[in-house]
Each structure stands twice: as structure tokens, then as C-alpha cells.
């Protein structure tokens, strides 16, 4: 019975010590009335004492319940304040991240543009080198052909002179 009373008092918000004390008081009063050998029935004063104890316990539990409700409301208020602060901090962090991302994107665009410019410059240099190499090859080919024609002509004329002598 004590355990059931203790659990009931804990469920309505009593502390462990207060619930134990109240359960023992009620159980003790009931046990005293039940085991009293001299009078088989409880006296009126005993019943009145139990009623007074019960009224005191009810008022104390009512006070505890009110305090618990106030504590819960205070905690809810603190949670609401913390949520609002967290939302503000999150929005500040988001704004900072957006600024940082925008700055990084701008830097990346500049670097990409610089690389594109470097690539265009390299393409121009490669085209120029290819054109000059092609020109040089043509010169070498023409010069080589002219040299070959001149050497062959000289050889032919030399052979013809030799044969004609």
C-alpha cells in the first residue's frame, strides 16, 4: 500500500522524500486504526485527524502542481527564447556563408577568366609558331628543291661534257 501511495504522489509531482513521508503517514494512520485491539472501530477524532491530513496533503499537492506548472511554463519560455536566438544565429551564419560563397565565386570567375585569357594567348602563340614553322618548311622545301635542281643540272651538264669529249 505504501508503494502504491508513493507512486501516486510521485505522479502528481511530489518529490521522492515528500511522497515517501506522505505515504508512510497515511499508511501508518490506517495501520494503527486497523490493528488497534482495544477499539474495533476508528474513533471520530482519528477520522478527523486523517481528514485533516488528507486536506493538508491535497493542498500541498495543489501547491506543488501549481509550482510544477509555473516551472514548466518558465522552461517553455526559456526554450522559446533559445529557439529565437538559435534562429537569429542561424540566419546570421547563413548570411555570412552566402557572402563568403559569393566572394569565392567571384574569385573563381576571375581565375577562370585569367586561365581563359592565358589559353587564348597560348593558342595565338601556337598558331603563330605553326605558321612560322610552315613558312620555314616551305622555304626549306623550295630551297632544297632548287638546290637539288641546281645540283642535278650541274651533274647532268658535267656528265654530258664528259660524254661529249
pLDDT of residue 39: 58
60-74 per-position pLDDT tens digit: 888 889 999 999 999
Give yes or no for a contact between 26 and 53, defined as CB atoms under 8 angstroms apart.
yes
**Cα of 28 vs its chain's centroid, Å:** 57
Which sign, positive or negative, has the C-alpha torsion 120, 121, 124, 126? negative
Q: Where are the domains of the chain?
A: 43-164
Separation of alpha carbons 70 and 76, rounded Å: 10
Quick check: pTM over 0.75?
A: no
Separation of alpha carbons 163 and 165, rounded Å: 6
Amino acid at each position: 500500500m505504501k508503494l502504491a501511495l508513493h507512486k501516486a504522489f510521485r505522479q502528481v509531482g511530489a518529490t521522492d522524500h515528500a511522497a515517501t513521508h506522505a505515504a508512510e503517514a497515511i499508511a501508518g494512520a490506517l495501520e494503527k486504526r486497523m490493528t488497534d485491539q482495544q477499539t474495533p472501530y476508528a474513533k471520530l477524532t482519528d477520522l478527523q485527524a486523517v481528514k485533516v491530513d488528507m486536506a493538508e496533503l491535497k493542498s500541498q499537492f495543489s501547491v506543488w502542481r501549481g509550482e510544477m506548472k509555473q516551472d514548466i511554463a518558465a522552461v517553455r519560455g526559456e526554450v522559446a527564447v533559445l529557439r529565437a536566438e538559435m534562429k537569429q544565429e542561424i540566419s546570421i551564419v547563413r548570411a555570412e556563408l552566402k557572402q563568403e560563397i559569393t566572394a569565392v565565386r567571384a574569385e573563381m570567375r576571375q581565375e577562370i577568366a585569367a586561365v581563359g585569357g592565358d589559353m587564348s594567348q597560348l593558342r595565338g602563340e601556337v598558331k603563330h609558331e605553326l605558321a612560322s614553322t610552315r613558312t620555314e618548311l616551305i622555304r626549306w622545301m623550295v630551297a632544297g628543291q632548287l638546290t637539288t635542281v641546281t645540283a642535278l643540272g650541274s651533274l647532268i651538264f658535267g656528265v654530258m661534257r664528259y660524254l661529249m669529249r
